[in-house]
Every structure is written in C-alpha cells, then in structure tokens.
C-alpha cells in the first residue's frame, strides 16, 4: 500500500482527502447508491413474476447480504482507505485480485450511473405529464445534463456531496411516506391473500434467479467503505453504517413492492415483468393520475435517482484514485484538487465515460457486464476478509466478525450460485473485461513498480482518532435513533404482508 503520490512533484506531500462524513453521510451515501434504478426497475419486474411472494425473495436477498456487510464492516474499520475492496483484496489476496475487484466495481457503478441518469430523465418528464405537459426534450439530453451537474458538485468537495446526499435521501423518504399515505385507499388487500393463478409456478432455479435480480437492489450495501478516507471516526461509523444498511434497503424495497402489488390491477401484474417503469405504468393502468403520480415522479427523480447519481459519481473515482496512487492505473488519476481536496481527474474521467455511454446508446452492453462485475467483485471482497485474517492476524480490528472460517466460504458459494444464473453473455463479456484490466495493471506495474508498504497511520491521517466523551455520547444517541427507526420500519413492512394473509 503506497502513500499518496504527486505526479508533478514526487518529493512533495500532496493534498489528501478530507474527513468530513459522519454516520448520517455514511448511511445515506451507501443506501443512496442502492435505492434507485434497481428498486424502480428490476425490483418491480420481479413483482410481475412473483406477485406478493416477492417479499420472500427480498427477505432472502437481505439475508445473503447481512454477513458480507459485516465482513466489510470489519475490513472498513481496520483499513479505512479510499477504494475499499481494492485495498482489502490487495492486502489479503494479492495485488492482481485487488485490481480486479476495483476494476469490476468501477464498471458496475458506471453502468448504474448511466442507467440512473436515463431513469431520472423518464421520471422528470413524468412530473410534467402528471400536470398535463409533455416536455419536448430527448431523454438523452436530460440525462447528460444531470450527469454534468453531479460531476461539477462532486469535484467541488466532499462536504457538498454529503450535504446533497442527505438532502436527496431525506427528501425521498419524506415524499415516499406521503405517497404511501395517498396510496393506501387504492390498495387491494385480496391480492395478498390469493395471488392471481396466471402468475404461474416457479421452480428452484427460477427462484434463485429472482433472488439474484432482487439482490441487485442490495448491491452497494458496502459503498461507504469506498470513501473510507473521508469518514470521521471510521472504526466506529463504518461498522454502524454497515450493520444498518441491509435492513434499511429491505424496508424500503419491501414497502414499495407491497404498494406495487396492492395498486396494480390483478390482470396487469404479469405485465410488470417487462415494464420499463413498473411503478408509473402500474399507476397509469389503475387510473391513478394527478397528485399521486406527481408525488411518485418527484420522489423518484429528485430523491431516488439523484441520491444514486450523486453517490455513483462520488464513489467509483475513489477506487480509480487509489488504484492510480498505488501504480495499478495511470498516475494521472491520482491527482487531488489543491482547493477542493477531491480526486477531480478521476471524477471527471468516469463522469465523461458515463456521458459517452448514455449519448452513444451503448449502455445496454455495459449493463449486462454490470451484473457479472457486481457479483465477481463481492466474491473477491468476501474472500479478502479471510485472506486478511490469515495474512495480517495482528491487524487491529475495532470490529470483528465471528465464524469467518465458515461464513466466508458459504457466502462465496451463495454468490457464485447467483452468478451462475446470469447467462452466457455476461460471463463471457465479464471475463474479457477482467483480461483487459489485468493487461492495464501489469503495464502500469512495469512502469511504476510496486508500491512501498506504509502503515495505516502514515497513509491515513486521522484514521485512528477517537471521539471525546461528549462527541461519543452524541454519536451513540444518533446510532440508537437510527436502530429504533430502522427496526420499526422492518416490523411494519413484515406486518404489511403478514396481516392480510392472517386475516384471510
């Protein structure tokens, strides 16, 4: 692991990233990466296949995310580097596997960024449709404008990124609650008692495939680890954020799926499987227009989509920045803005790549690669936890996960089974992408050489800082409040599905 590098003056100490994120930002940047295009597309499509039984697949997707999230909590607390899994795998499994982890994470989030910008364009235009106005602007133009906006704000500082993320997420949750309340009279409870017979049966492989697609709505539960160098008191805040993230994602997905099942006419539920925008199309098929449709479009566009765009433009550059700092990628990407203290070259480069994917309509190809990249990246990350235990047994671990010798292999098998459901094209394209990444890595390594190892304290100023008694008490109160709210939300979601069935 190398110390930060200044390409213009190697002897100088370059600007470093700034620690400005607390628990709230660690949670919102993580959850915001997830609650977006997956929830409002893939998650809705599975409702068309499973009806109310979708909650079972969502519960399983949460369960297979909890232990890996705890593994990331251990690694993130012990090694709070920018670049998360790239760093963990590099130390625990070797630099080539670390590079493959970072390489696949980047392309998976670039695909999400492009898809999310197009989703924003659709729902932004739906805002105007809800009030009777058809906006004569192509989706691609709106998507590219949104991408440019977030490239600029992310370059201008992590504090702006964090404040925007908090605003987007709390706006989304606020609008979601209002939308839920307006939708309650439209929900048909009998649908939850007896699913339409024409939904058909699903075998074991079909269920695994459904879980894999729902799991995509959870992918990103470790996002805050990628910004480990910008989180205050990382040994405390990173584990706390990761303990909560899978449950927050479950509650949000389960609640929206419940309303989607309840408001969609029974005969229209199978059509959701192929719907490009399941929630908007379900409301239109049920004749629910006006204010409810406006609320949905506002919440998705300026809450869900914007929170995901902000996070997905912020986090991948931290991976590229760290890989370049270590000499695994061209060093130009390791530049830090002297005023804003952000990896501005990496942010601009990946942002421009997302714009090109959207503008040239090559996003579908990258999206298929994203499915492989997500799962492969997590398999490497999970394996890194065991590798770190064996290679660095004396590493200080403020948070420690039990049962790693069993939990890691079991988790890898589960994720490998989900990967087996992707089909041939993503696997072939994914393998080709890995070969390209390794070629770039070995070229860069031959040019720059291997980085000299440094301690966490040397590489990460402030990583071992301990809060004072007053600050610690404040942090404990905040975490306690989050736990109470998240627990209550999960219980409510479980009751939403259970009560109609028990009453029926």
Give 109-164 pLDDT, tens digit per residue. 888 888 889 889 988 998 898 888 899 999 999 999 999 999 999 999 888 888 89
Is 21 in a helix, a strand, or coil? strand
Q: How confident is the model at residue 7 (pLDDT cuts 50, 70, 90)?
A: very low
Is 94 in a helix, a strand, or coil? coil
State the helix-helix crossing angle for 95-129 and 306-314, rounded to 10 degrees.
160
Q: What average pLDDT score do residues 248-259 get?
A: 93
- Domain ranges in the chain? 23-503
Give 436-454 pLDDT, tens digit per residue. 999 999 999 999 887 765 4
How many Cα neighbours within 13 Å face the side chain of 41? 16
Rounded Cα distance, 46 and 497, in Å: 16
Assess whether pLDDT exceeds 70 at residue 435: yes
CATH code linked to domain 23-503? 1.20.1740.10
What is the pLDDT, as a whole number, of residue 197?
54
Q: How confident is the model at residue 201 (pLDDT cuts 50, 70, 90)?
A: low
Give 227-248 pLDDT, tens digit per residue. 888 888 999 999 999 999 999 9
Q: What average pLDDT score do residues 344-368 get?
A: 84
Mean pLDDT for the chain overall: 86
Rounded Cα distance, 116 and 32, in Å: 12
Q: How many residues are listed for the chain in this entry?
A: 504
- Burial (Cβ within 10 Å: 0-12, 13-18, ≥19) of residue 35: buried
Q: What average pLDDT score do residues 267-291 get?
A: 85
**Under 8 Å between Cβ of 475 and 235:** no
Give 60-106 pLDDT, tens digit per residue. 999 999 999 999 999 999 988 878 889 899 999 999 999 999 999 89
Give 309-330 pLDDT, tens digit per residue. 998 899 899 889 989 988 999 9
Give 452-482 pLDDT, tens digit per residue. 654 444 455 556 778 889 999 999 999 999 9
pTM: 0.86
Q: What is the 3-class SS of 304-333, one letter each residue?
A: HHHHHHHHHHHCHHHHHHHHHHCCCCCHHH
Residue with more model confidence, 346 or 15: 346
């Amino acid at each position: 692991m190398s110390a930060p590098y200044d390409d213009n003056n190697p002897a100088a100490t370059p600007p470093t990233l700034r620690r400005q994120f607390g628990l709230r930002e660690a949670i919102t940047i993580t959850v915001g990466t997830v609650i977006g295009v997956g929830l409002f597309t893939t998650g809705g499509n599975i409702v068309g296949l499973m009806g109310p039984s979708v909650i079972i697949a969502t519960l399983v997707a949460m369960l297979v995310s909890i232990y890996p999230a705890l593994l990331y909590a251990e690694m993130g607390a012990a090694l709070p580097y920018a670049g998360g899994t790239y760093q963990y795998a590099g130390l625990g499994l070797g630099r080539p596997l670390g590079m493959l982890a970072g390489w696949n994470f980047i392309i998976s989030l670039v695909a999400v960024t492009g898809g999310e910008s197009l989703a924003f364009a659709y729902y932004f235009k739906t805002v105007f449709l809800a009030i009777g106005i058809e906006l004569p602007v192509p989706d691609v133009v709106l998507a590219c404008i949104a991408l440019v906006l977030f490239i600029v704000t992310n370059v201008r500082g992590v504090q702006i990124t964090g404040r925007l993320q908090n605003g987007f997420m709390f706006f989304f949750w606020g609008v979601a609650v209002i939308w839920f309340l307006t939708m309650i009279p439209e929900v048909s409870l009998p649908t939850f008692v007896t699913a339409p017979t024409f939904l058909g049966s699903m075998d074991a492989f079909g269920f695994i495939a459904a879980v894999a697609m729902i799991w995509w709505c959870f992918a990103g539960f470790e996002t805050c680890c990628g910004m480990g160098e910008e989180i205050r008191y990382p040994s405390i805040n990173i584990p706390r954020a990761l303990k909560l993230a899978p449950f927050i994602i479950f509650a949000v997905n389960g609640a929206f799926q419940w309303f989607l099942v309840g408001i969609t006419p029974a005969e229209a539920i199978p059509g959701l499987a192929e719907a490009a925008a399941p929630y908007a199309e379900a409301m239109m098929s049920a004749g629910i227009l006006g204010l409810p449709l406006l609320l949905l479009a506002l919440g998705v566009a300026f809450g869900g989509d914007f929170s995901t765009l902000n996070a997905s433009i912020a986090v991948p550059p931290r991976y590229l920045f760290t890989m370049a700092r270590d000499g695994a990628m061209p060093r130009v990407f390791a530049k830090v803005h002297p005023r804003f203290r952000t990896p501005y070259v990496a942010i601009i480069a990946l942002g421009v790549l997302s714009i090109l994917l959207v503008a040239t309509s090559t996003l579908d190809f990258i999206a298929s690669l994203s499915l492989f990249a997500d799962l492969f990246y997590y398999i490497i990350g999970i394996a890194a936890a065991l590798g770190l235990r064996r290679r660095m047994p004396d590493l200080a671990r403020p948070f420690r996960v039990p049962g790693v010798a069993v939990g890691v292999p079991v988790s890898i098998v589960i994720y490998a089974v989900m990967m087996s459901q992707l089909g041939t094209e993503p696997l072939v394209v994914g393998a080709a992408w890995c070969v390209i990444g390794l070629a770039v890595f070995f070229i860069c390594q031959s040019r720059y050489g291997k980085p000299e190892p440094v301690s966490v304290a040397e590489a990460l100023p402030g990583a071992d800082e301990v809060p004072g008694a007053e600050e610690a008490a404040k942090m404990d109160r905040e975490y306690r409040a989050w736990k109470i709210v998240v627990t209550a939300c999960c219980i409510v979601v479980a009751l939403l599905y259970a009560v109609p069935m028990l009453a029926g």
